[in-house]
Structure 1
Amino acid sequence: MYSGVKAMFNRNKKLKGKVVLMRKNVLDTKTMTSVRGAVDTTRCVVSSTFIDSFSSFSGRCVSLCLISATKLAENGSGKVGKKAYLEGAISTIPTLKAEECAFYVHFDWDIEDMGIPGAFTIKNHLLVEFFLVSFTLEDVPNHQGPLNFVCNSWVYNHHVYEKDRIFFANETYVPSETPVALVSYREAELQSLRGNGKGKLRQYHRVYDYDVYNDLGNPDSNEDLGRPVLGGSVTYPYPRRGRTGRKPTKKDCKSEKRSSKIYVPRDEHFGHLKSSDFLSFGIKSISRNVWPHLKPRLDSNISKDEFESFDEVHDLSEGGIKLPLDTISKISSLPLLQEIFRTDGENVLKFSVPHVIRVDKSAWMSDEEFAREMLAGVNPCSIRRLQEFPPQSKLDRSVYGDQTSKITEQHLNINLQGLTVDKATLNAIKCDRLFILDHHDVFMPFLRRINEYTSSKAYATRTILFLKDDGTLKPLAIELSLPHPSQQLGAYSKVVLPAKDGVQSAIWLLAKAHVIVNDSCYHQLISHWLNTHAVIEPFVIATNRNLSVLHPVHKLLLPHYRDTMNINAFARESLIHADGIIEKCFLGGKYAMEMSSAVYKHWVFPEQALPADLIKRGMAIKDSSSPNGLRLVIKDYPYAVDGLEIWNAIKTWVHDYVSLYYVTDDMVKKDRELQAWWREVVEKGHGDLKENSWWPKVHTREELIQSCSTIIWIASALHAAVNFGQYPYGGFILNRPTLSRRLIPEKGTAEYDEMEKNPEKAYLRTITPKYQTLVDLSVIEILSRHASDEVYLGHRDKDWTSNPKAIEAFKRFGEKLAEIEKRISERNRDPNLKNRTGPVQLPYTVLLPNSKTGLTFRGIPNSISI
């Protein structure tokens, strides 16, 4: 009887836990290698390359220790329990995903003596890492319901860590409210994530630190591949990227030596299903297995690198291009390439039919569609209302001379005839009827170098448009400007007017092409790369360095950082580096990233919020009587209409969430982690702009709400708006060319005669050639796809917090987004809203929150994950 009572007593002092993890061989297609350091082989014997079965985790290979959140040890920190080990594998758990496996673990734990657990440490004695998904303690006395720990982190062999890996219960505390027993552990974990700023970082490190963009060039390989360091100077300011600690190049001590593997904290990319790995695999496979075979075939006959007709461009998605047999065999062996390059058994490379020509093959040529895409295309955030005439330049006159536009009222009034507004240009401005797409100041400082030292020939463009009574835009004039001949200051400009017949219609089509080439380059470098990818990375780094996983703002922002550092590292490796895809396929060439640096000088964080952006561009006016507090100047502006609804939903959600943890402004100001986070964002992450007074202080709840809303907007909806329309619009290169190779021919030249006789051929000889088109289309089709594991706005892990009020607020956010999705679909069916579909009959769906996998032209992922 005594032994039975004793056994019952001991059982009451046991806590049962369930550990869910994923083995590395489930997530990694590559051969696994062992980490440095000794392994405790007396406790566990496993293969040195991979884990064969779930049972590999048995035999005391993984140990855990619970840490109390309520009972203090003599050192003032939470009491630490006895070590416990994962037990035999559980083969079937209905709630687990196919790639996950679960194990039980039992702890000796006296609640009266040790209190309620609030954290645990874990040691991996295996040769290989595993992904720890979650840990759950069941039936904890004095605690209502299971005690959950959401982990989502790679755990390497314990010898590579200076301190044991620690994970906290799924509770949320501002620093001042953290249980005393957990304070030292909270601070120590943040210190580990900051690192010491020294040495080369390895895959198993968990360090988040800052560096400048000094790894874009490769001067050791070729002097022509040297590139300036972006960031850390007045000349080339730039947001910071994650530090890797690689050695400097031999020929330039300020540049970091490039390598095929760029360090990113491992938790920022956790498996081959992730979007970035999908992107990396796809582009690398194309570059290694397709492009090398295409280039010599095109080069073997110079005419083959040119499209001979518009029909030949259509054939990219209708008929395809003949490929060598060995190339076809390589494509057939790679599943992703099979999806991107469809073959019909006759050695044909074939792209998806771009959405823009699925209904009407020629509507892209219309002036209405040219203008509509400024409101609902892939770059809908550059057009602005014209508020001064003639358009002025902000370039330094002492350096560039007079860059004032040469467009006159006479140019505009020719095409204002017969419309219901006064013919006088100034009256049209006062009536908010004139708009401008102005890329002049961005390109003019680089044009002389671009036109002299690259194969491109380009203008700096201005396009003026008129708002018609039916809500659509009509282009009135295009100004094409070049640096003044003979090194003089000022600009040499020509103004081209719309025309429908004869050689003037060919010239007008070419002028529109030059505008779009400007816009394509601006979109890819500024609207897409700089204004989303690059500017968000410092926030990712600062958050991990300064906000504990227990912090409410960390929990709020974490989903919106998913995979961004990884995707940006891949961009530096394969897209934006010297002689990379951007330099080869987009206007700007070797000066492309310099151009983005020049634009970053004028980047203003508060203006990234959609309402502020619309006001700045004159596309909206403050109006207290409006539900949004704004009145859109163009009512049928799809990006703005849909975007404002998404913005308001985001801000309402952030307000509801932040209000749960900060009752007063003083609580915000006194939150030491929060203040350290924001200070580092400003002074280090965006340190080149730190002197600007426009930075919010984040001393009030409203400043915190607005700042967090802006971060979420950039990472989710803004990125979706400028990314997932790339192939639907740009997959047809005639509609969105990325390069211009010659200027508009002058009368009396052979090129002019060709333009008169064969306008199609003149257009094709001006825009992106065949090889660069194939490269461009291959890449943007992948960039425009959603991966199978994407997480969309309004969705996140179900156990992300234990706060029921936060869960309820997030549920309301999801419901609001569902309502918005319905309204967007209704607007797209309204025939009176002509800008929503346009002549190409392509509904504006890119801001519909949810999507399926693939090339869908819709869906707002939580983060910049591709």
Structure 2
Amino acid sequence: MLRAHPKLSITTLPMLTAEVHFSFTKETEFCFTAVMQLADLKLQGLADSRRLWTSFSELARILKIRNKTFEYIQEHWDEDEFFGYQFLNGLNPMMIQRCSKLPDNFPVTDDMVKDSLRGSSLKQEMKKGNIFLSDYKILDELVGNIISGRQQYLTAPLVLLYCNPHGMMLPIAIQLKQKPSKENPIFLPTDSKTDWILAKIFVRNAEFGVHEVDFHLLRTHLLAEVFTVATLRNLPSPHPLYKLLFPHIRYTLQINIMARNQLISKDGAITMYAGVGGESLAKLLKRATASLTYSALCLPENISERGLENVPYYYYRDDGMKLWNIINKFVAAFLSHYYQCDADVQKDTELQDWISEIFTNGFLGRDGSGIPTSFQTVTELVKFVTMVIFTASAQHSAVNNGQFDFGGWMPNYPTALRKPPPKEKGQTPEHMILETLPDVSTTVNGTAVLRLLSKDSADHYPLGHFPENLHDEDIPCKLIEEFQKDLRELSDLIEERNMKLELPYTYLNPKNVDNSVAI
């Protein structure tokens, strides 16, 4: 996705300039290897075991580090209410969309879902705006990775959901492959418990692949790298946009170099322990890049496009929109101080070179992406910079910080699956669930990586903190103070709400949002 400049290596650490290199504290604290996490989790003795889990209770016994969210998920992972909740407030709140017409390749009938809809019809509930879809077609025909010499299996599910009168988002039908056929049944909550749980496990594995490669790696890490490199190449340090963006590019290049070397390289953790690793990862990344749009990165437009303005209990949307608006208010005031009319934007050649490089190198010059090729107005500039800061801070926090919370209990977020999906219903014995889930080695190594990726560093700076102190003018300093005040007020509101929730949503509390993609 990023075309490397010959003067800026993106494959080795020593050549990074001081301003983007890890601090001594972070360097010494952060060893980018799962070995350290295996030790912390007391899992070293299991790291090479290829045996299967004998029971869920055995899996529960081995994990010594846990928190309230982890324990909640361990208790509720197989319940429909929690399965549906994760589409809104889990690791990837970006897939679900309102469904006004069933896809032609998802032939769900009223008879199939009459119990779930309590006698209503799909047409009636679609008209009310209560039917939703999550379609993993981006995974279609990708072949599962080979882990420890054994073939793993990927599916490309379609999931139909119903927002019931109590505001609960419930799954009502799951088809695990894109092409309907007799050997690709539609699974329903009324099927056997084993069939239904296994269908949901395949969805959660698809979720792992799409979340980690598209919404986490591409849409936060790699995009933040595009913004970082364009900033360092095109904007001199006195430039107002450089000063505004610098806190949001801190550490990004180094963390991405480490991710390339330790996660997605030939012997990296994703390649070794994820079903979507290897050749499928590269194919998925290309598909995701080719379909990425500007509107998908702008939260207000994204929520509208997916028809989710009025879904209840969608805390990612609620907190994210407030954060977007706070960032936008700050960016608008800050940039308007330096660009007092549209002509000021148009004649800033450094600024125009910055956005041109982002469009050309970051989005491969795709006109269909909607990314601007130049800036003609202050309004256009403010919107784009808001997106840049939101992506590097809030969006990364939303899709990164809960990885161990939601994935530490492996059955809820399996990195790989050892068996193909069932071809008929009612023929799956209970032991097939444990035989399908990852073996011991894949589980504990995957868990260690998720722990590493969501563990705070002592040297991190929450959104709104400006440790470099690049601003010495009165107006920018005053605007920063107002920005920090707005963030504190939002943090108080979120904490007040969370006190009333059985499962608090904390990932967009400004206190928990890093300034940059730094982990």
Length-normalised TM-score, structure 1: 0.56
CA contact (8 A) 1:242 1:264 kept: no
Shift of 1:499: 3.3
2:176 corresponds to? 480
Q: What is the distance in 1 between the residues matched to 2:18 and 2:498?
A: 42
Query: In the TM superposition, what are the counterparts of 1:288-303 in structure 2 within 5 Å?
Result: 294-296=46-48, 298-299=49-50
Q: What is the distance in 2 between the residues matched to 1:492 and 1:669?
A: 59
Q: What is the distance in 2 between the residues matched to 1:706 and 1:777?
A: 38
1:604 corresponds to? 293
Per-residue deviation, residues 409-439 of structure 1 (Å, max 9, x unmatched): 3323342125xxxx22122112110011111
Shift of 1:294: 4.4
CA contact (8 A) 1:538 1:686 kept: no
Per-residue deviation, residues 693-716 of structure 1 (Å, max 9, x unmatched): 553632110010000000000000
Alignment of 1:415 with 2:112, yes or no, is no
Shift of 1:864: 0.2
2:274 corresponds to? 586
2:17 corresponds to? 265
Among the aligned pairs, what percent are the same residue? 28
Q: What is the distance in 1 between the residues matched to 2:204 and 2:377?
A: 43
2:504 is aligned, of 833, 843, 850, to: 843
Alignment of 1:672 with 2:349, yes or no, is yes
2:167 is aligned, of 471, 487, 492, to: 471
**Structure 2 vs 1, CA of residues 414 and 696 (structure 1 numbering), >3 Å: closer, same or farther?**
farther
Per-residue deviation, residues 729-788 of structure 1 (Å, max 9, x unmatched): 111112221211113446799xx4xx53xx2x3212112221111111111112111111
CA contact (8 A) 1:444 1:460 kept: yes
Alignment of 1:524 with 2:225, yes or no, is no
Q: What is the distance in 1 between the residues matched to 2:62 and 2:397?
A: 26
SS in 2 for 1:381: coil
CA contact (8 A) 1:385 1:434 kept: yes
**Structure 2 vs 1, CA of residues 312 and 424 (structure 1 numbering), >3 Å: closer, same or farther?**
same
1:862 corresponds to? 515
Query: In the TM superposition, what are the counterparts of 1:416-435 in structure 2 within 5 Å?
Result: 416-417=117-118, 423-435=120-132
Shift of 1:823: 1.1
Q: What is the distance in 1 between the residues matched to 2:290 and 2:81?
A: 34
Amino acid in the other structure paired with 1:592 = L
Q: What is the distance in 2 between the residues matched to 1:491 and 1:267?
A: 59
SS in 1 for 2:469: coil
Alignment of 1:367 with 2:80, yes or no, is yes
Query: In the TM superposition, what are the counterparts of 1:738-749 in structure 2 within 5 Å?
Result: 738-745=415-422
Query: In the TM superposition, what are the counterparts of 1:148-227 in structure 2 within 5 Å?
Result: none
Amino acid in the other structure paired with 2:221 = H
CA contact (8 A) 2:175 2:186 kept: yes
Amino acid in the other structure paired with 2:448 = S
1:216 corresponds to? none
CA contact (8 A) 1:478 1:496 kept: yes
**Structure 2 vs 1, CA of residues 768 and 676 (structure 1 numbering), >3 Å: closer, same or farther?**
same
SS in 1 for 2:224: helix
Higher CA-based Rg: 1
1:787 corresponds to? 457
1:455 is aligned, of 151, 164, 171, to: 151
Q: What is the distance in 2 between the residues matched to 1:597 and 1:506?
A: 35
CA contact (8 A) 2:247 2:466 kept: yes
**Structure 2 vs 1, CA of residues 380 and 692 (structure 1 numbering), >3 Å: closer, same or farther?**
closer
**Structure 2 vs 1, CA of residues 361 and 457 (structure 1 numbering), >3 Å: closer, same or farther?**
closer
2:302 corresponds to? 613
Q: What is the distance in 2 between the residues matched to 1:695 and 1:277?
A: 40
Q: What is the distance in 1 between the residues matched to 2:369 and 2:463?
A: 32
Q: What is the distance in 2 between the residues matched to 1:564 and 1:365?
A: 36
Task: Name the structure, 1 or 2, with higher relative contact order (CA <8 Å, separation 6+).
Answer: 2
CA contact (8 A) 1:355 1:729 kept: no
CA contact (8 A) 2:230 2:358 kept: yes
Shift of 1:360: 7.2
Per-residue deviation, residues 553-585 of structure 1 (Å, max 9, x unmatched): 110111000110111100110101124211222
Q: What is the distance in 1 between the residues matched to 2:262 and 2:479?
A: 40
Shift of 1:362: 2.3
Amino acid in the other structure paired with 2:55 = S
CA contact (8 A) 1:824 1:848 kept: yes
1:399 corresponds to? none
SS in 1 for 2:275: coil
2:140 corresponds to? 444
Q: What is the distance in 1 between the residues matched to 2:402 and 2:317?
A: 16
**Structure 2 vs 1, CA of residues 263 and 714 (structure 1 numbering), >3 Å: closer, same or farther?**
same
Q: What is the distance in 2 between the residues matched to 1:287 and 1:264?
A: 29
1:541 corresponds to? 229
Q: What is the distance in 1 between the residues matched to 2:341 and 2:141?
A: 48
Report the aligned-residue RMSD: 2.9
1:195 corresponds to? none
Query: In the TM superposition, what are the counterparts of 1:259-338 in structure 2 within 5 Å?
Result: 263-274=15-26, 278-283=29-34, 285=36, 294-296=46-48, 298-299=49-50, 305-317=51-63
More helix by share: 2
**Structure 2 vs 1, CA of residues 791 and 360 (structure 1 numbering), >3 Å: closer, same or farther?**
closer
CA contact (8 A) 2:205 2:414 kept: yes
Aligned residues: 516
2:391 corresponds to? 714
SS in 2 for 1:641: helix
Shift of 1:244: 7.3
Per-residue deviation, residues 98-146 of structure 1 (Å, max 9, x unmatched): xxxxxxxxxxxxxxxxxxxxxxxxxxxxxxxxxxxxxxxxxxxxxxxxx
Q: What is the distance in 1 between the residues matched to 2:145 and 2:274?
A: 15
**Structure 2 vs 1, CA of residues 595 and 262 (structure 1 numbering), >3 Å: closer, same or farther?**
farther
1:629 corresponds to? none
CA contact (8 A) 2:92 2:399 kept: yes
